[in-house]
Amino acid sequence: MSLSDAAFPAARPRRLRSTPAWRRLAAETRVNPAQLVLPLFIAEGASEPRPISSMPGVVQHTADSLRVELALAAAAGIGGVMLFGVPEHKDAIGSGATDPAGILNVATRIAAAEVGDALVVQTDLCLDEFTDHGHCGVLDARGRVDNDATLERYREMALAQAQSGSALLGLSGMMDGQVAAVRAALDGAGRSDVALLGYAAKYASAFYGPFREAVQSSLEGDRRTYQLDPANRREGAREIALDVAESADVVMVKPAMSYLDVLADAAAVSPVPVWAYQVSGEYSMVEAAAAQGWIDRERAIDETLTSIVRAGADAVLTYWAIEAAERWTHA
């Protein structure tokens, strides 16, 4: 067939990419500000916001700066905020996590009062920020994380966070049976209104490094006995199915970009929303490369968020939530 033949080629996909207007109209994946959740760190005893050196642009907040950030988040139209507490004092069982005067519970009350009607106020339900050993649970006599003893602490944390005003508890500790245990505790206390986010497929990733600085982690060793092996895809699907069976309202894949296959698997079968966490290392890599002039920062941010939603995420936890939402709104 001659190239001059009018019928060659009959299929011309480039027609739908020929102008910005066409590309906008033909886009298969769209990310809305309401799909974004902003993680926030609140430091006990801080007199001013503390920059996190490995996460440029992210800080440990004071109560006052938290209020400012919450107002910006609500004005940007994002979906919610996920709160992490950074306590001054830690102990073996993470007592600060269940103390009504503990930093996370105080921050939750602030967030619920300031933006509880505009945003879904969410809290990290895990002990790692509060324990002096840095693990996500309590340890047994041999120094191992005791799954069932940890569930007792999670039940207590759930009631404390619900009382403080959290609408969604982020179960990030990866203990077996954590969703069922917390659901039973909440329902038994008459708090069936509080939703649960199961960090179902949370992998033992190298991309959490900057987060350890953000929460001033005391961790020695690693968390490979309870977080998933990065090599395992079917195991992620199994964990997601278990959390759904235990009545998780939402399930999570974490990290996001290195686990898009796991995310797509979950999205294909889950009867509940599937979220993904664009973790600290993903954020810091883009920021570091952009600072060197190696990549276009804004395009990289948008491309990463689009890829996560394209893979099946209904919402994304991202440190760029406010920035991205404001830019898209004014584009």
pLDDT, tens digit only, all 331 positions of the chain: 555 666 788 899 999 999 999 999 999 999 999 999 999 999 999 999 999 999 999 999 999 999 999 999 999 999 999 999 999 999 999 999 999 999 999 999 999 999 999 999 999 999 999 999 989 999 999 999 999 999 999 999 999 999 999 999 999 999 999 999 999 999 999 999 999 999 999 999 999 988 888 887 877 778 889 899 999 999 999 999 999 999 999 999 999 999 999 999 999 999 999 999 999 999 999 999 999 999 999 999 999 999 999 999 999 999 999 999 999 988 6
Q: Give me the catalytic one of 61, 135, 183, 202.
A: 202
Report pTM: 0.95
Q: Which domain holds residue 303?
A: 32-329
**72 in any annotated domain:** yes
**63 in any annotated domain:** yes
CA distance 221 to 234: 26
Count how many residues are written for the chain.
331
**2 in any annotated domain:** no
Within the chain, where are the H helices?
A: 20-26, 63-76, 103-115, 147-164, 178-188, 209-214, 234-245, 260-269, 280-291, 297-310, 321-329
Give the CATH number, domain containing residue 95: 3.20.20.70
| Cβ atoms of residues 123 and 162 within 8 Å | no
| Cβ atoms of residues 237 and 284 within 8 Å | no
CA distance 12 to 9: 7
Q: CB-side exposure of 93: number of CA atoms within 13 Å?
A: 12
**163 in any annotated domain:** yes
- Please give the radius of gyration of the chain, using alpha carbons only, rounded to the nearest integer: 21
Q: Give me the catalytic one of 254, 266, 281, 282.
A: 254
Number of Cβ within a 10 Å radius of residue 188: 11
**Domains held by the chain: number:** 1
**316 in any annotated domain:** yes
pLDDT digits (tens, 9 = 90+) for 255-275: 999 999 999 999 999 999 999
**5 in any annotated domain:** no
Quick one: pLDDT at residue 68?
Answer: 98
pLDDT digits (tens, 9 = 90+) for 114-127: 999 999 999 999 99
Q: Residue 255: is the preceding peptide bond cis (ω within 30°)?
A: yes
Does the active-site annotation cover 90?
no
**10 in any annotated domain:** no
**15 in any annotated domain:** no
The torsion angles phi and psi of 306, rounded to 5 degrees, stand at -65, -40
